[in-house]
Structure 1
Amino acid sequence: MSGIEQPVLQPLYRVNKFAVPPDARDEFLDLVAKTFAVVRGQDGYVRDWILEQNSGPGVFNFVTMIEFASEEVAPRVAAALARLDGELRLDREAMMGRLNIRTDFGSYKRLDSLLA
């Protein structure tokens, strides 16, 4: 043993919420499929969920959640998605505006202090 402690890497969770009008659903899901195909190929990708609301009064009818091995993965994934957007000639913000999709994005870490 070297005696040098390695930092404990904590998973990073990316949670994206979308309020998608019914007439934008197909185009939105097509982009989600392309996005997740890139994300799933990245080193440090762990798993994902794509959820569609089926009941309740919530505003957001789609939620995507991606688990990464650590926050160090995020810049590589962002760069890979920027390359995808360049290949598709896509401005995601403009697309969301055109389709009248409202969004809420964030990265999260598990709060282990409450899991005892």
Structure 2
Amino acid sequence: MPNHSVARPLGPAPVFRIDKFVVPAEVRPAFIAQMQRIQHTLRSLPGCLRAHVLNQTGGTGEFNVVTVVEWASEQAVASAAVLVKARFAQEGFDPVAFTKNAGVRSDLGFYGLA
């Protein structure tokens, strides 16, 4: 019987960070602008393969803004976390407070290939 499974490349598995947000209409432009700024920073870090901010344009889901970042490995995620935390501290930016003050609900998580 032939094996139709797709072979995965050897080496570290990519890691995906997918954050979903319910953003009130009145703050959506400012929220998206901030998420785009963050994604721009992430794209410049080693191991970031791609980063996107998605704005819901149709459908019935409750989450209307989604960010997706693909990292080359768990090590890339760990290294980026240190750099991003330092950058946010330097800027005086608190993402948890920003999200809460904007009235945004979120569902945040790391994902791997199934």
Q: Shorter-chain TM-score: what band?
A: 0.7 to 0.9
What secondary structure does 2:39 align onto? helix
1:106 aligns with 2:71: no
Structure-to-structure mapping, 1:1-116, within 5 angstroms = 8-111=11-114
How far has the Cα of 1:84 moved from its partner? Answer: 2.2
RMSD: 1.4
Number of aligned pairs?
105
Whole-angstrom CA distance in 2 between matches of 1:49 and 1:26: 16
- Please tell me whether the aligned partners of residues 38 and 80 of structure 1 are also in contact (alpha carbons under 8 angstroms): no
Question: Mind listing any 5+ residue stretches in structure 1 that lack a counterpart?
Answer: 1-6, 112-116
Listed as ranges, the gaps of 5+ residues in structure 2 are 1-9
Q: Give me the TM-score of the superposition, normalised by structure 1.
A: 0.83
TM-score under structure 2 length normalisation: 0.84
Do 1:16 and 1:63's aligned partners in 2 also have CA atoms closer than 8 Å? yes
1:83 maps to a residue whose letter is: A
